[in-house]
Structure 1
């Protein structure tokens, strides 16, 4: 049914209107549409959201190309003679673009087959549950939903450092489109995104410097993790500047930049050809009329939601990064399950879920559950099992022995957490996560008959090692 608004723009009625086509949003839309609901999804640019277009999958595609390049540089180690190799960034980027196109095509087919309508344009709330869309092709539509779902995500934060915005720094989006390799890339930020790109572009041939305001890379992780990352970057020739407060930036990224920073009370200057910002994320909540929709924001600008992912406005939901929950695609997918169930009358909540993370450096860093620092802060006693990755025999066949794995086990023999800094760390961590979800004691993994030689077999070695008992102070 359609109604005429006062300005004679047709108001189109839907069971569900979704703002943003990211991970959680698209699955809610497709599921509802397949159930016979009338659903519209408003997307300004990235069909399917950031993950298949400009984030998770494209960045891992680039990282894989960089890993292949690293194998070429190590060819002699494997008994292979080469006359040298050359990285062609155009080819690297074309491989990435081909993958992205295939993923977008899959998304378009899913919209078509599910019956969810994809509306390309910029959506703004004009009143509760009513969104006006300025179409990319011109014109305006107004869509009203019995329910509305907000999934507008986040974007890279460019801090108000003098000269930074004027320098036109790269974000992760721009870095994934570089057809010419930077001569010297300066990365501001020592978090996930900055470290992944720093290593990848170093392996592809750039000189890279990481500037971090804190005293270590990934400063919230345990000391052995941050030390391992520092050692990795030292080994690969990536310069790391710690305790550095950026004061100003001169120049333009791609032409030449000078970063002025304070370190230990001394002002210093770092010069490079390109500058990348990886200083965190900002929610996409400005300028979309949330105040007219009755949707409140928290002090950081994220959409306020309860454990059911309901906003402060009736029949208005939000999920994914825009809610301020952990900013991972797998969290957004679980958010989809929460909203799906609650739209059907259930009472599914986000509380108590285990959230794993993997940083796709090489070797990977993966963790689920408690770190040592978190356990100590909570006053939890634990037994610490720890082995070097070299103790896992499969790593020796791969010539990938760098790193370690460690697990925290509680007094009831349940696994409290595991950290893997090693080859395929995400896969190893996921196996332990399944055991944790099942509430299995660590002895189940210790006594399992696992195939030899595999990386998973390392869990037998880990949990057969002699633990250190750690009690709260």
Structure 2
């Protein structure tokens, strides 16, 4: 074993919450080390959030170019150079890497590139990427391990070497026919983007509708949107076997309504969920317990079962969003300093970055019904929002849930242009416990998408007498 090196705080994993904590503690004068096996800054700036949204924007440009004549601009033949799309994305990633390295240097946090494994409580042995080992220990330790794409146990699937979102973002040639296993957010985002670049796309999902956790009216609208762009959907389909190899030719056999069907394609993307990166790194030797699903067991202050050991982000079972990892950082930062911050009762929003995007915060109708929370529901089609009339972005709708016996807003969903930005206004009102008539009667700038909040809230039914 190499010589033991002592740090004030040792962080395993450089994802969003972990790196923010490292920079904060480094600025505060602590001796901090971050161990990262692969991606400077973690997956978000390297292979996930930023790169995917970068390519999704390129797909939107392609879509607008194909429809330019609808807006009075006459173009010639339009085609996508996927190698250029990839290079634009990679240029952004390189800028992010440089920015991250600068922040490590300027804050005093040490970034150690290598694979870490616990060999004792609060002690990690690191196999360095450039050779050799280091053994590190910390007065306090943070595990920030992240997750990876799940590959279901389906006959032939692993042998087919399917793409995950990581490999899909590295494609430099257009798939002739992309088959997507999984009808969740990642699969839908990538499916729409590749379709807009020019691929034929089929989505296969075992649920009766896409995004099975969303309300049926939302799922139906998204399905109509995707079908309108020529994406084929196989829903309620149980995948039984896979043959061939992704990137060459691949065949996916499914059973739908008792009938067997084979879908032939050139590429296969698996987007069926995530698995925490907690296996095989010696967490048991550190006294860090896992729950039945393999996530680090934490309390509402993000403390693990081991003294002076904290967990941040997806590995701790937090909602799988970068913005939640940022809040985890704030909770751990304050609690390390003696605070009493908790993960309880967080109002967590999320967005799916399709075009138009989906944004949601609070309860949806299905959750309210399941939890027996009485609500009033109002909807507004995006075609009734004047900004959409001006831009021809009229797909989708807004939906709000208001308490049945008071005027508190308890949930909001929007499938429509700039929905993520509009959602923030509703989220702010919810955080402030603002009675919905206050927002309904607010003077909102014309001509904006947020202007639709007025008529939406004007549709809220009166309280039951």
TM-score category, normalised to shorter length: over 0.9
- Residue 466 of structure 1 deviates from its aligned partner by 5.1
**1:47 matched to 2:40:** yes
Q: Which moved more, 1:456-465 or 1:321-330?
A: 456-465
**Of the candidates 216, 223, 227, which is equivalent to residue 223 of structure 1?**
216
Q: CA deviation at 1:412?
A: 1.6
Q: Please give the secondary structure, in 1, of the residue aligned with 2:450.
A: coil
1:452 aligns with 2:438: no
For 2:159 and 2:303, the matched residues in 1 are separated by 39
Is the counterpart of residue 409 in structure 1 residue 385 in structure 2?
Answer: no
In structure 1, the residue matched to 2:436 is: 442
Report which stretch shifted further, 206-215 or 402-411.
Answer: 402-411
Q: 1:30 aligns with which of 23, 26, 30?
A: 23
User: Mapping of 1:271-310 within 5 angstroms?
Assistant: 271-310=264-303
After TM superposition, the structure 1 = structure 2 runs for residues 13-28 of structure 1, keeping only pairs within 5 Å, are 13-28=6-21
Does residue 370 in structure 1 map to residue 358 in structure 2?
no
Paired residues of 1:446 and 1:459 also in contact (CA < 8 A): yes
Correspondence for 2:168: 175
Give the gaps of 5 or more residues in structure 1.
1-6
Alpha-carbon contact 2:402-2:460 (below 8 Å) kept: no
Question: How far apart are the structure 2 equivalents of 1:150 and 1:432?
Answer: 33
| Offset from partner CA, 1:314-364 (integer Å, 9 cap, x none) | 111111011122100010000000100111111111001101110001111
User: 1:327 pairs with 309, 317, 320, which one?
Assistant: 320
Q: TM-score under structure 2 normalisation?
A: 0.98
Question: Does 1:429 find its partner at 2:423?
Answer: yes
Q: Distance in 2 between matches of 1:267 and 1:55?
A: 34
Dislocated runs of 4+, deviation >6 Å:
468-471
* 1:388-423: CA deviation from partner (whole Å, max 9, x where unpaired): 011110011111000000101112211011100101
How far residue 430 of structure 1 moved from its aligned partner, in angstroms, is 1.1
Please tell me whether the aligned partners of residues 257 and 271 of structure 1 are also in contact (alpha carbons under 8 angstroms): yes
Task: Return the alpha-carbon distance in structure 2 between the equivalents of residues 316 and 383 of structure 1.
Answer: 44
Aligned residues: 464
Contact 1:363–1:424 (Cα < 8 Å) also in 2: yes
> Secondary structure, in 3 states, of the residue corresponding to 2:5?
strand
Tell me the CA shift for residue 468 of structure 1. 7.6
In the aligned structure 1, how far is the partner of 2:101 from the partner of 2:255? 49
Q: Does the aligned pair in 2 maintain the 1:389–1:405 contact within 8 Å?
A: yes
Aligned equivalents of 2:70 and 2:456: distance in 1?
A: 28
Distance 1:446 1:194 in 2: 36
Q: Secondary structure at the match of 1:131?
A: strand
For the 8 Å contact 1:384–1:470, the answer to whether it is kept is no
Q: Which residue of 2 aligns with 1:128?
A: 121
Q: CA shift at 1:379, angstroms? A: 1.6
**1:373-384 maps to which residues of 2 (within 5 A)?**
373-384=366-377
Q: Does the CA contact (< 8 Å) of 2:55 and 2:89 recur in 1?
A: yes
Query: Which residue of structure 1 lines up, in the alignment, with residue 96 of structure 2?
Result: 103
Across the aligned residues of Structure 1 and Structure 2, the Cα RMSD in angstroms comes to: 1.2
Quick check: 2:252–2:263 contact (8 Å CA) kept in 1? yes
Instruction: Assess if the C-alpha contact under 8 Å between 2:17 and 2:328 holds in 1.
Output: yes
Contact kept in structure 2, 1:385 and 1:407, CA below 8 Å:
yes
Structure 2 SS opposite 1:308: coil
Is residue 305–residue 311 contact of structure 1 (8 Å, CA) maintained in 2?
A: yes
In structure 2, how many angstroms separate the alpha carbons of the residues matched to 1:72 and 1:391?
26
